[in-house]
Every structure is written in C-alpha cells, then in structure tokens.
Amino acid sequence: MATGARNAGGIAGSALLALSALSWTRPAAGQESAQILIGPYLQAIRRHEATIRWETATPTAGRLAWGRTPECAYTVEDSHLGVRHEIRLTGLRAATRYWYRIAGAGASSESIPFTTEGDRASPLRIVVFGDTRTGHAAHGQVVAGAAASEASLALHVGDLVQAPTEDSWRTFFAIEAPLASRVPLYPVLGNHEGDGNRYLQLFTLPDEGSAHERYYSLRWGPVAVVALDTQQSVTPGDPQFDWAEQTLAGLAADPDVLFILGVLHHGPYCAASGHGSNLTVRAHLVPLFEQYGVDIVFSGHDHVYERSTVDGVKYVVTGGGGAPLHAAGWGWWTEVSAARYEYCVLDIEGGALQFTAFEAGTGTVLDTFQLTTRAGECADDLGCSDLAPRECPPGEVGQFRCAATTCVWSCSQVPTSTGLSRRLRRVGR
C-alpha cells in the first residue's frame, strides 16, 4: 500500500519533497508527544486512498499508525517538524475498512475506523447539515445523530463557525470528532468563515484550478456533488458561473451519474424570518439547476428546515445545525417548514433515493420523500447484459449490476497477491 504525507506547518508554497523524509515502519515505543489541538479528521476518501489531518500545539513530526485491524500494525512518518499535518494513504482496497491513530502525539491513542468508497452499485448513505456556529449542545446532538447514521460522507452547507478564530475552529472540530474522524466532511463557505483562508488551510477539497477549492465537484458512486461559493459572484460571465455551467453540463451528459446534488450557503427559496430567499442565486443559478437536471439543492443561512419543489428541483434548507433558530415561514414554494435543530440523511441505491430529515436529539422524522431515475430497467443482473460495457480504472473489472431496478456500471477491484507499494511522497504548503 502506498503512503504519502503532507505537512503544512510553517511551509510557504507547494513542493514535492525528498523520499528520504518519510519512512514506513512498525510503530516504535517512546515517541515524543505533542498536544493535538484539532483532529484527527478524515478528508478526501476515495476508492483507493484516504487523507488524515490534524494540528498540534507545537511543531512535531507527523506519524500515523494504520492497518486493517485496530492494532494499526504499520506507521507512516513525515519527519519534517510542523504543526499542520496531512498524510495521504494510497493503494488502499475499495469498500474496505481500515483503522488509524495518531502515533507519538500522546493526546490520541484510540484507533479509529473508516471505510473506503464502495462500488457504484452498492448502497450509499450521505448526511447533510449546516449552520453549526454557536449552539454547541445542539451542534453536538446533530453530530451524534449524523454519526449514528454510519454514512459514507457528510456535506456541510456553510457557517461552520461563528467567526474564523482559532478557538472557534478548535471547538468545531472537537464537537465534530465523532463524525469527522470517521467520515470525510465536504463543506462550502458561509458568510461566517470570513475571508476563507483558515477554512482552506483546514480542508482538503477538490481543486478546480482557478477555484482554489472554494467551489468544486466530487463523485461518489452514482452521485455527483457540485459545491458552490455564494460568497463570490455567481453572475453569468464570472469564473464560478462559467465553471458551474460547464460542470453541470458534463454531469448531465454522463450516463453513470444518476443523481446530482447542489450545495451552497445562500438558498434561492426560503421563507424563514432570518434572511429569506437569495434572489441573485435564484436569478442566475436556478436556471442552471433546472436546465441540467439537478435533483436536490441544499442550502443554509436561515436556521430552519424548509423543503420546496420548484420546476422539478427539490430545494432543502438545512440550517438547523446549532446556530440560534429563526422562525419558520411559508412561501408559495414551501412544502415543509420547521424551526428545529436537524440533519438530513440520503440513502441511495441505484436509481432510488430515499430522503429523511431528522430532528436532532429526539430522532423524530421531520420530512421524507423519494426520488427515482431510470426505474424499471431490470429485475436482475441479466436484465443489463445487453448493454455495452464501459471502462474501469487499472486493476479493476466491471459489469452492469441491477441496483433497485436500475442498470449501474460497477467496477470492482481485482484480487492481487502483490506486496505493499513503497511509493511515498510528501508535499508541503
């Protein structure tokens, strides 16, 4: 298995550093310790890789123990001293449980599990919430419910913190630990993240060139997520709008994308007392959502739950993550509205999506709906046998599988008896 490490403490710019700075060993006793201020937390989990990040109070080497069992039989080390640590494990097996723990930073000794991305035909669960900010007890209840759902990934609709101070970020990650240490968290920028510079230091997000991780897209199984930064312009002709249009057009034309989710902070349809609908988003982005078949658009900003359907697109405001609640309201678009602390769970299998919004703390169901696409294509795998095969990544084989009556091209890893790869690297920034 290949391992890589990236340590951001005190390093300016980005460079590929020498292989000799890293070592792959069994963990040693008596390592120096440093207080962990943030993390550990997962980022960028894919089928064959995972990134683990943490920050320490004083500069230290980054050591991560990991393995297929809680004993974490191996470690990867970045010997450069720093306070921001990022280690990427590559060459992992898809749909497989691994364990990790921070080695040599005495504040963490518990082994934590995570699971790599599964095959496209496998069931997928996603949790969505936002506006966690200041209500730490409510935020904790949201995280407890989201973590108990055992989702594969989490989406956050922005306003993670009240202000981009170190105390706020440390509190956020301490509360998020039961979820973020086990599941990759993909957020968008809200108005409370300030200039976003600290946010960008803390999260490893897909880099879309000029976007610099402020807006991005990601694929997980049959689902595509388009994450937008409504702190920047979304006017036609501006870079983000052009990127969004090109990205959505490509996803709409991809037969392997069964559902498209939009995530942004300022929603186009909201009747709550706090802020209400963002008319700029409605004027410029809603036509794109409709044209390219976006299924659900998630937003926050207003601290309520609200669901609408406009011209075939579902709009869900999930801003009840911990900030002071606003009064729920009703507009001509509103189907469900509630001033509750809450989180959303999406269960996807093939072309079937089950949505449920839960009240935090009690687990009461606030809302539920279903979406289907290409239903009735098959009754079993034989019903997909006449379809032309697609390509799979190297080392994988594919076939069409019948998942919830939809034909899904699904790649699986070919079993191999080869040993551990030693392709190690460290990138500093």
pLDDT digits (tens, 9 = 90+) for 16-31: 222 223 333 333 443 4
The pLDDT of residue 107 is: 46
The pLDDT of residue 150 is: 96
**Terminal CA-CA length for the chain:** 24
Superfamily of domain 124-372: Metallo-dependent phosphatases (3.60.21.10)
Return the SS3 of 104: coil
The pLDDT of residue 64 is: 93
Sequence spans of domains, the chain = 2-116, 124-372, 381-413
pTM for the whole structure: 0.89
* Identical topology for domains 2-116 and 124-372: no
Cβ(371)–Cβ(388) below 8 Å? no
Consecutive H or E run containing 106: none
For residues 230 and 238, what is the distance between their CA atoms, to the nearest angstrom?
Answer: 12
Q: How many Cβ atoms are within 10 Å of 75's Cβ, its own excluded?
A: 23
From residue 358, alpha-carbon distances to 80, 267, 323 in Å are 44, 20, 17
Tokens 């309520």, residue located: 304
CATH of the domain spanning 2-116, picked from 3.30.200.20, 2.120.10.30, 3.30.2270.10, 2.60.40.10? 2.60.40.10
- Amino acid identity, position 54: W
Phi, psi of 399 (to 5 degrees): -160, 155
DSSP for 54-65? EEEEEEEEEEEE
The pLDDT of residue 394 is: 86
* Cα 79 versus chain centre, distance: 29
Strand pairing report for 396-403 and 406-413? antiparallel
The residues pairing with 202 across neighbouring beta strands, listed in sequence order, are none
All residues at 6 or more sequence positions from 140 whose CB lies less than 8 Å from its CB, including other chains: 175
Return the SS3 of 221: coil
Q: Please, what sign has the CA dihedral across residues 77, 79, 84, 90?
A: negative
* Phi-psi domain of 50 (left: phi exceeds 0; alpha: psi -120 through 50; beta: other): beta
The widest CA-to-CA distance across the chain, in whole angstroms, is 65
Residue-by-residue pLDDT tens, the chain, 429 positions: 434 443 333 222 222 222 223 333 333 443 445 789 999 999 999 999 999 999 999 999 889 999 999 999 998 988 889 999 999 999 999 999 999 999 875 445 689 999 999 999 999 999 999 999 999 999 999 999 999 999 999 999 999 999 999 999 999 999 999 999 999 999 999 999 999 999 999 999 987 545 568 999 999 999 999 999 999 999 999 999 999 999 999 999 999 999 999 999 999 999 999 899 999 999 999 999 999 999 999 999 999 999 999 999 999 999 999 999 999 999 999 999 999 999 999 999 999 999 999 999 999 999 999 999 999 999 999 999 999 999 998 889 999 999 999 999 999 887 654 333 323 333 333
Token pair belonging to 372: 């289907």
The pLDDT of residue 413 is: 82
